[in-house]
Every structure is written in structure tokens, then in C-alpha cells.
Structure 1
Amino acid sequence: MESTRVNRPGGGRRDRVRDLSDLPKAHLHLHFTGSMRSTTLLELADKYGVRLPDALTADEPPKLRATDERGWFRFQRLYDAARACLREPADIQRLVREAAEEDVRDGSGWLEIQVDPTSYAPLLGGLIPALEIILDAVDTASRETGLGMRVLVAANRMKHPLDARTLARLAVRYADRGIVGFGLSNDERRGMARDFDRAFAIAREGGLLAAPHGGELAGPRSVRDCLDDLHATRVGHGVRAAEDPRLLRRLAEYGVTCEVCPASNVALGVYAKPEDVPLRVLFDAGVPMALGADDPLLFGARLADQYEIARRHHGFTDTELAELARQSVRGSAAPADTQKQLLSGIDTWLAD
């Protein structure tokens, strides 16, 4: 860990560690319901008389292990239970505003929040009304907090590819309202990436970046499929690429950003301990990374915590942490002036 030396009154010296919450950064991997504060979930559940699973009402994050189908099903069940508490536009507005506030507190200057609007449509009047409510909430939260904020629409690989095409067309239609990318989420062990190639072609042709999940629950092959079949410009997670040196070189050569979520990887059992997450392997191979919180509601760790894992468990110096922050900004869909401002802020953080 890199520290700076500052003078004490009277001529003494002490170590000062830079605050990672002050490090400007972009947040590129945050799921919609998973961004919710636990206190907000409890209040909404009480409001609507929803009986939550005990794992969501405890003082600590639930114990999860999603490396087998039973564990993944339990994770999804908890996520679905939380989502069932989002029933009115005011709930959506609150979630988005609070997610923005948490990001600002952690030093984020740009957030791309990921959502499958079909999951919210039944309680919000249909697919298009749901998406418009979400986009309005993002626009309002961005104005009120000063956080640059956009949306990445994600299809569910557990559903039919035709559903993904519908979502891709809708995402393109609303690109001028703040949608910047198209993703593919849920268990990457189910369904082939190539089944969704047409949906991603629609999104790319409409000017959206491609950011499917891969290389989390499945190995390097799932990352290669994202590149070969979906022409990914970013990969959600991607950490299992560390198992394939040739794939690492390919990601580095083409500048494909991996949205790495260390706390999530450990919570879901992809790796046993924080120090097992291959952050150093990817970094040293030159693979661009954007650290993300994934689902802080379920994993108990937000954005700055991911940088703390890199510092504490992988020995990243402040210079290297600053470079991770730069990589998150460069991998984002933020406008050039926003990127310039954030990169300048990173330099200032490092110089202090």
C-alpha cells in the first residue's frame, strides 16, 4: 500500500493514506434492484406487507454460494423478493436517487446502472411505461446529485432470444433518453451467447455498446463467446479470463474492459477469499478493468469497498489504484468532457 508523508505540528511525521472515497471513478457494473439500501428494502416491504426471506432482514449480508444451480436459484430468489417491493414510480425514484447518492459518496462521477425493464413491467403498467419511469428517475437523480448517470438495458439469458431482440429495439428507440448500452445477464451457464447475437447486432447498429456478462460462473470460454458471438466492447465480470493467457492477451490488445466485482465474486463463491480474485493477474496483463459493486444489497459492499479490496488484499499502490480509476473512466460511455474532468480529478487525488 502506498502512503504519503505529511508533517505533524512540532516537526513530527506520520503516514497518510489517501481516502478511496475521494478518488474520482466511474461505476459500470451496478444492477438496479441490487443497488437498493437494505433500510429502504425493509421500509418498502413494510409499506406493502411483503414478507421478506430471513436472509434479507438480517443485520449482515446473506450467506450465498452460487457456483451450483441450487445456490444460484437461492440468489435469484432473494433478488426477486427484493424486486417485488418496487411497485410504484415513487419507489423507483427513491431507489435511483439513493443509488446515486451512494455513488457520489464513494467518489463516482459517472454511473451506468443496469436494468431489465421487463422485470418491473407487471407492476408499473407495462414494458414501455416501466422503462420511461426508470429513465425519468435517472434523469431526475442525475440533476439533483450532480452525478453523470445513464442506463444499460440488459436482457435475461434465461428467457427466449426473441425477448432480447424486443429489448434491444426498445433500447435503441430510447437511446436519446439516456440508454448507452445493451447487456445480457443471469446465469451464463445457461443458454448460448450466440443465441443472442441478433439482439446485440440490433443494439450495436443503433449505436449502443455491448456489455454482456461472461467469465464469472463459467470459465474463459464464456468470455470468448462474448467476444466472438456478441462483439463485446465490455464484459460483465470477465475474471475467469485469468485462466487463459491467450485470452488475456486478446482482451488487452483490443482494450476490452472487464467489469470486475471482487466482493461479489467472493460472496457468490467464485473465489474463496478476496485475495484469490485475480485482480493482479488481469492488471499486470494489461486488461482494462472497471471495478463494480454488482449488487450491494446482497453483498454488503459498495464501490469504494472494491478499491479497498485491491489495496488491502492485492497490494495495489495509490498509483495503481488511480490507474484502475482511469480505466473505469475510459471504459465508460461518458462524454469526452466528463471523462476529461474525471481524469483530471484522478491526477489531483494522486498528487495530493
Structure 2
Amino acid sequence: MESVRARGEAAIRDVRLLPKAHLHLHFTGSMRPGTLLELADKYGVHLPEALSSGEPPRLRATDERGWFRFQRLYDIARSCLRSPEDIQRLVREAAEEDVRDGSGWLEIQVDPTSYAPRLGGLIPALEIILDAVESASKETGLGMRVLVAANRMKHPLDARTLARLAVRYADRGVVGFGLSNDERRGLARDFDRAFEIAREGGLLAAPHGGELSGPSSVRDCMDDLHASRVGHGVRAAEDPRLLRKLAERGVTCEVCPSSNVALGVYEKPGDVPLRVLWDAGVPIALGADDPLLFGSRLAAQYELVREHHGFTDAELAELARQSVRGSAAPELVRAGLLAGIDAWLAA
């Protein structure tokens, strides 16, 4: 495939060939729809039409009922992952999809407690996941690591247990610690000790904030959890002082435009305040979040930004650089990706 396509008089480079890092991808949500159908058939799991139709489900999670429906669909999909072989397949296919989209580094996010009951316990589950990541990385050539995420709907003591486990496996591929699920529930500061454990163990802090809740959610992630990255963070656009704070501290926002629209946070792609964050100097790393439910992967986020926000190829290249800089990739990997970005832009 040619790296440059003609659109009128302008040269439009293929974003799939743009080297980039992927910092916001959830484990079950990375599954291919076809794989879900096969696994559901294998285990006799009845899938609702929202998961079996081949089309992304219509979701709106800005109210309690909508979020419950989203979570229920996610839980049904997760119930189809029951063996180490299923985990290996999911991770390998996620890596293949990322490579196809130009990703050179992927940090996949997972709460191992969700898989522990079917995989022999918490420690075996994490080891199976890490083994799968290591194998997929070798098979595809994709740099790949794990971000362990606690569930804010559970007790903060559970998060501390996960943080200690994450630190224990830092030498096996765990690079960060997160906090996911409905950010409208629970206070960020309730999880401050868990994040302290993770930071003391050398892990980066990347909690979710600023999607379903407003700017205060982002501020709490920064002040209470000392986040170096914020999952989503787009609602910071509503507070100019917070934007300045993010920019000054160099906190990367993992922006997932397709999921913002799919969940009803914004009505249409052009409403996602990408330009507001960009103009304020906030580092941005585009992410796909849950392609299984939202219907698009990493390269599609760059296409969306190009089409609906008018980002030039030079600006897309800078977005890719910001994703690399915000990652936990080793310096040698960073240097290679950054050189590749420059080469893409020079094409």
C-alpha cells in the first residue's frame, strides 16, 4: 500500500504507516468480534444481539442505566475467556491489530481479578496474561507491556493488593497501575495508598478520569493519585486553569474519541475537545479504549482527528510523538519510533 494518497493537490499520508504508541486499550475490549463469536459458540454462551450482530452496539453511558448496560456487555464478553489458550489468542490478535495500525508499542490494561476465577486464582491469571504478552510480542515484533488496573467499584483494600502484585511483577512486564470503571463512583483519594505502593515500586500512575465526570475528576487524579497519565481526561477542557496545570506538569491525556462519542459524552466526533487540549499544550495519546464495543481501532482515531478536527499530517506526527513520550517504552524503542515518525512525515 502506498504511504501517500492524493487528495486534491495535498499529499495525505496513510496513518496506518505512522509509528505510534497505544496507551489506552482494555483487555477484553481489544477482542476481535469474530473471536468473540467463536468463543461464545465454543462455551455455549448466549450473546445478546448487541454483541452478535456484527455492528457496534448503541451505547449511552452518561446515566446509571446506560453504564450498567455497557458493563453488562463487557462482562458477557469477558465470560468467554476461560483458558490460557483463549488469553493467548486474544493478546496475539490484539498485537496483530496494533501492528496493522502502525503501533510500535502497546500498553494493554487489565484487572486480573476479573479473570482469576477461571484461570486458577489471581497470581496464575496475571502470570498467564504476562506469558501471553511476552509470546505475542516475540511473534509480532510489537513492544508490549501491561498496565494493571484496579476497579474503583471495589474496596480500596483490593486495589492495594493489586498494586503490590503489580510491583511484584514489574520485572515481568508490568509498567503501570490504573483505576478503571465508573469514575462517578467512589473518591480518587480512597485509592491513594494503592497508587503510593505502585509509585514506590517504580510503576507509572494512569487512573481514569475526566470522561463521565467533569474536570474535578481529572484534578483528583493529579492531586490525590499523582497521575503521570490520565485515562481520557477530555473533560479538563472545561477548566482553563486545569488545562494549564496538565500542560505544566506534562501529564498525558489518553484521549479516545470514538469511545467518547459511543458512550454519549459528546454527540459527534467534532464535539470532542481535541483542539482545546492541543492548543493548551496538553500532551495527548490517542487510544481505541474498547474496539469490540466501539467498532474502531487505533488508526481510526488518527483518521477521525484528521477528518473532524482538521489536524495536518505534521500535527498527527506530533500526536504520535506525544504518545511515545507518554509511554513506558525503553529509550531505544522510543528513539526508533520517533525516528520512524520523522521518516513518515518526510515521505
Q: The TM-score by the shorter chain falls in which range?
A: over 0.9
More divergent stretch after superposition (254-263 vs 14-23): 14-23
| Amino acid in the other structure paired with 1:325 | A
What letter matches 2:243 in structure 1? Answer: L
CA contact (8 A) 2:18 2:102 kept: yes
| Offset, 1:17 | 1.4
2:200 is the alignment partner of 1:210 = no
Inter-partner Cα distance in structure 2 for 1:316 and 1:228: 31
Structure 2: distance between partners of 1:142 and 1:247 = 37
Q: Which whole-Å deviations, capped at 9, do the CAs of 1:52-83 have from their partners, x for residues lacking one?
A: 11100012100000000000000000000000
Write out per-residue CA displacement over residues 65-117 of structure 1, whole angstroms, 9 at most, x where no aligned residue.
00000000000000000000000000000000000000000000000000000
Out of 95, 98, 105, the position equivalent to 1:110 is 105
Alignment partner of 2:164 out of 169, 187, 194: 169
Per-residue deviation, 1:15:
4.3
Alpha carbons 1:5, 1:14 under 8 Å: kept: no
1:98-177 equivalences under 5 Å are: 98-177=93-172
| Alignment correspondent of 1:32 | 27
- What are the Cα deviations for residues 232-257 of structure 1, in whole angstroms up to 9, with x where unaligned? 00000000000000000000001000
Distance 1:300 1:46 in 2: 21
Query: Aligned with 2:75: secondary structure?
Result: helix
Select which of 303, 323, 343 maps to 2:298: 303
Q: What is the aligned-residue RMSD (CA, Å)?
A: 1.2
Identify which of 68, 85, 94 aligns with 1:90.
85
* SS at 1:17 equivalent: strand
* Residues 180-219 of structure 1 deviation map (CA, whole Å, 9 limit, x = unaligned): 0000000000000000000000000000000000000000
Answer whether contact 2:5 2:14 (CA < 8 A) is retained.
no
Q: Structure 1 residue runs of 4+, over 3 Å off?
A: 3-6, 13-16
Secondary structure at the aligned position of 1:112 is classed as strand
- Cα offset, 1:280, TM superposition: 0.6
Match of 2:218 in 1: 223
Measure the CA separation in 1 of the matches of 2:41 and 2:186.
37
- Output the CA distance in 2 between the equivalents of 1:285 and 1:305: 24
Q: Is the 8 A contact 1:235 1:256 kept in 2?
A: yes
State the partner residue of 2:227.
Answer: 232
* Residue matched to 1:281: 276
Partner of 1:207, secondary structure, is: coil
TM-score (norm 2): 0.98
- Conserved 8 A contact 1:4-1:15: no
The answer to whether the 8 Å contact 2:33/2:54 transfers is no
Give the Cα separation in 2 of the matches to 1:35 and 1:185.
15
Contact preservation (8 Å) 1:35, 1:296? yes
CA distance in 2, matches of 1:221, 1:171: 27
Q: Any stretches of 5+ residues in structure 1 without a counterpart?
A: 7-12
How many residues are matched? Answer: 344
Amino acid at match of 2:320: A
Contact 1:116-1:156 within 8 A present in 2 as well: yes
CA contact (8 A) 1:242 1:281 kept: yes
- CA distance in 1: counterparts of 2:9 and 2:285, whole angstroms: 32
The counterpart of 1:254, out of the listed 242, 249, 255, is: 249
- CA distance in 2 between counterparts of 1:330 and 1:201 reads 23
Alignment partners' CA distance in 1, 2:39 and 2:254: 30
Instruction: Give the Å deviation of 1:16.
Output: 3.4
> Which residue identity does 1:171 align to in structure 2?
A
Aligned 1:336-351 pairs, distance under 5 A? 336-351=331-346
**What SS does structure 1 have at the residue aligned with 2:108?**
strand
* Separation in 1, partners of 2:49, 2:153: 26
- Distance in 1 (CA, whole Å) between partners of 2:9 and 2:253 is 37
Q: 1:73 to 1:320 in 2, by over 3 A?
A: same
Aligned residue identity for 2:192: D
Contact 2:4/2:14, CA 8 A, preserved across alignment: no
Distance in 2 between the 1:279 and 1:98 partners? 29
Where does residue 43 of structure 1 map in the other structure? 38
Match of 2:194 in 1: 199
SS at match of 2:175: strand
- The two structures have a TM-score, normalised by structure 1, of 0.96
SS of residue paired to 1:225: helix
Percent identity for Structure 1 against Structure 2: 84
Give the aligned residue type for 1:113.
I
